[in-house]
Structure 1
Amino acid sequence: MEASWENGVRSLRKSEMGSLRNLLGDVFFAELPDIQPHAINDENTSNLLVVVEDGQVVSHIATIKRHVSILGCPLKVASLGGVATYESHRGKGHASALLEKTMAVCRDEDVDYIMVSGYRNMYHRYGCRHVGKDWMFRLDQDQASDFDDSNFTISCASEEDIDALGTIYRRESVRWMRPSSDIAFGIDGWVCNSPAKTYLIKQSDRLVASAVIQQARKGDKGQGLRFALRDYAGERSAIVGVLGKFVQEQDLKEVSLHVMGCDTVLKDLLEARGLTGIQSVLPGTTMIIHFEKLLKKMRPYFIERIGENAVNGLVFKEVGDEYHVYYGGDRVVAESRGAAAQLIFGTWAGAEDAMLNVGGRAGEVLRACLPIPGVWYGVNYV
């Protein structure tokens, strides 16, 4: 996707990496490229879209693209972030041009949806929405001893553990299809723009789970710190049973973890020990790129829910700026890209209900299939 011109909207050239670093340092902070090496690197320049003026990178959007597995169905997702424009170049439409180009490229490359690490009016205009029906749980010091099971141990992972960590992670029902480099990035690096380390969770020397937990930044001091589990995989009883160990061993005031709405086992285990979750959403905002292809790829899961005959009667179609689902003579209509994201992934506010309620039999069938869960960023944050 190398451009044939010097100025304009195009992919970054390797020789311009220094200019990009200057931009990101000016808008964010100088270390950003170093803590997102999975995105800001010479091998990913085709996914680093920039506006160049007089040889200088003045605006930028980054993506990384990965395959994911949602309840056994393969989709393709782009993580988008690093949106930056020099203040002196704002108001010229650069960010909008880059986002439109990114959307077009993602569509050409069969990306089903984009995860955007943030929210701004521009994202909303292009169809990004807060979606998902997940949970957030928090464990404080006073409860830590109730989450410190003696039959589980924790220890820091090393690069020698990457294969074993991958084996544990591949058992997750909603997951990224991560190359080993993604797993290595979380061993002792930065995850979601925070220092993080991966821990092995063992029972009788058998690896049963893993957790990537936030670490203190330089200058952070002891008691009073609030850390988050940035990623986890494996046996849910083991994850619950070591939360208190993290609090006590790192002298934390609190540890939090995001629980997918479909992960009823983990949610129930946490509640059984006295924690109460609060409603949460998928990270950042979500934008649908391929409505028809995404829902067709979810057919195997839909068949599990409603049977093959019913699924064969579903028709998914993009009609102008609207997104339709037909069943028999009825239809469900999402009137915008944003509404399509709400329909597919659901919302705690129930925005999808208005679409389903007037959809007749199509609404009834879809209600049995949707919402679907989305992946949590973890080490794939941009």
Structure 2
Amino acid sequence: MNIRKVLSHELGEAAALSDFVFRQPDQKSMGTLFPYLFQPGISHSYGAFTEEGTMVAFMGMVPEVIRAGDARLQVFGLGSVCTHPDYRGQNLASRLLEECMAHAKRSGASLVFISGDRSLYMRSGCQYFGRVAFAALNQSAASVLEASRTEEWTIRSMQPEDIFQVSALFSAARTGYEQGPAQLLALMGASAIPDIYRLEPQMLVAMKNGRIEAFAVAAVHSEDERSTASSDEPSRAVEWAGDVQGCSLLLAEMYRRFPAKEMIIPVPWQQKKLLELLKASGASITSGRNSGTVWIADAASLLTQCSPLLPEFWNSVFRVSGDPEQERAYTLRKGEKDLQWDDNDLLSLLFDPESPHVSMAPDGFTTIPLPYLSGLHFV
């Protein structure tokens, strides 16, 4: 079996294999849902090929830059992992994962975010990460949020001509993916998360003084579904940006226009003002991890890319030890004491505000924020 990078002209075959494994006949093609994995271009993905050249396994990789304050994290998203049923049990996924991890290292990536927690990933050193609050918005809570709306706010459906103003809202956020208007439009149009849940995408903007001040996209039930039992399933907020009150009004309006049993809103820990509004509305709040798992491609690169958010003396406090090709180890110096950590400890300290290691962090350290990984950029 030949394990190698997928070429541009083979991406259609990769999408067809993914469709065969994951999709039902009435669902959109993976090639449509994930344009940055499957549309022609320079590929970062890997496949397993028979001697005749037929692709029988695939592992998709998308390079991204995540903005976290003044830091820029070079990362990959990994997903659409599939093997044709006739070729399972041959260790192909493990071999593909090894190639993808080596590719990430060569590319200078610090992290690989994976859309799953299969034993395949956990055996290879992937870890849970981050902290997200899941708010369940019901009719009562939505009414409380709507009650704060004043006449200066106007809410309407997003139009294509709004893209520059909406893109500017995302660019102004302290935490998020680096993206331009064209990429944002492609991801909105693909609507991966709504299709995965067999829901429909809806996009609204909130205006004040003639300017778009907030945006939200959600996965909601269609008109037909809302008259059936399927409406007992929750709708889901996918992404939002802009003024916090405007965002809360958009989420409440989304629930009012497209009612369901409840709307699930995944709020990253750093969006404290929005979370406070949702709590005050009476929405039910539960705490959980970010979506999927993460693997450290290169610890030194991770610390360097995070350095704008770390204390100035971070490189005298953190030290990477051990064989980076085998089991990594970290030494954290706290006062006169050296603490020995592993990948899970480091990821916990860096990205989880509830980490048990916060008390051992160097003076001046604050938790590094990440976006929710199952939003528009989900792979």
Q: TM-score, normalised on structure 2?
A: 0.87
C-alpha offsets along residues 90-125 of structure 1, whole Å, 9 cap, x if unaligned?
111110111111111111111111111111001101
C-alpha offsets along residues 41-64 of structure 1, whole Å, 9 cap, x if unaligned?
1114x2121000022110000011
Matched, 1:369 2:369: no
Q: 2:377 aligns with which of 373, 377, 380?
A: 380
Distance 1:188 1:312, change over 3 A: closer
How far is the alpha carbon of 1:21 from its aligned partner?
A: 3.0
Matched pairs, number = 359
Partner of 1:3: none
C-alpha offsets along residues 175-202 of structure 1, whole Å, 9 cap, x if unaligned?
1001323210244441325342332121
Partner of 2:17: 23
Distance 1:89 1:197, change over 3 A: same
SS at match of 1:111: coil
How far is the alpha carbon of 1:20 from its aligned partner?
A: 2.0
Letter in 2 for 1:176: Y
Check conservation: 1:157, 1:187, Cα contact below 8 A: no
How far is the alpha carbon of 1:218 from its aligned partner?
A: 9.5
Letter in 2 for 1:147: L
Matched, 1:240 2:245: no
Which ranges in structure 2 are unaligned for 5 or more consecutive residues? none
* Separation (CA, whole Å) in 1 of partners of 2:259 and 2:269: 29
Partner of 2:107: 109
* Separation (CA, whole Å) in 2 of partners of 1:275 and 1:219: 26
Matched, 1:47 2:47: no
How far is the alpha carbon of 1:156 from its aligned partner?
A: 2.1
How far is the alpha carbon of 1:285 from its aligned partner?
A: 1.0
Distance 1:27 1:338, change over 3 A: farther
Counterparts of 1:1-382 in structure 2, within 5 Å, are: 8-29=2-23, 31-44=29-42, 46-53=43-50, 54-148=52-146, 149-151=149-151, 152-192=153-193, 194=195, 195-216=200-221, 220-222=225-227, 223-303=231-311, 308=312, 310-311=313-314, 313-320=316-323, 321-327=327-333, 329-335=336-342, 337-346=343-352, 350=355, 352-353=356-357, 363-365=360-362, 369=365, 371-377=367-373, 378-382=375-379
How far is the alpha carbon of 1:217 from its aligned partner?
A: 6.3
Give every structure 1 segment of 4 or more consecutive aligned residues whose post-TM-superposition deviation is greater than 4 Å.
none
C-alpha offsets along residues 255-298 of structure 1, whole Å, 9 cap, x if unaligned?
22111112212112222222342102111111111212211222
How far is the alpha carbon of 1:169 from its aligned partner?
A: 0.7
Letter in 2 for 1:111: A
* Separation (CA, whole Å) in 1 of partners of 2:307 and 2:157: 40
- Of 190-199 and 262-271, the range deviating more from structure 2: 190-199
Letter in 1 for 2:99: K
C-alpha offsets along residues 109-167 of structure 1, whole Å, 9 cap, x if unaligned?
11111111111001101111222122111111233221222443322223322221111
Letter in 2 for 1:344: L
Distance 1:18 1:60, change over 3 A: same
Distance 1:347 1:204, change over 3 A: closer
Percent of paired sites with the same residue: 20
C-alpha offsets along residues 55-84 of structure 1, whole Å, 9 cap, x if unaligned?
211000001111111122111111110000
Letter in 2 for 1:333: Q
Distance 1:219 1:248, change over 3 A: closer
Letter in 1 for 2:294: T
* Separation (CA, whole Å) in 1 of partners of 2:222 and 2:202: 12
Check conservation: 1:182, 1:380, Cα contact below 8 A: no
Partner of 1:360: none
Letter in 2 for 1:284: G
* Separation (CA, whole Å) in 1 of partners of 2:62 and 2:316: 35
Distance 1:89 1:370, change over 3 A: farther
- Of 181-190 and 255-264, the range deviating more from structure 2: 181-190
* Separation (CA, whole Å) in 2 of partners of 1:206 and 1:238: 12
Distance 1:158 1:213, change over 3 A: same
* Separation (CA, whole Å) in 1 of partners of 2:223 and 2:58: 28
Distance 1:101 1:339, change over 3 A: farther
Check conservation: 1:316, 1:325, Cα contact below 8 A: yes
Check conservation: 1:186, 1:198, Cα contact below 8 A: no
Letter in 1 for 2:22: F
Which ranges in structure 1 are unaligned for 5 or more consecutive residues? 1-6, 358-362
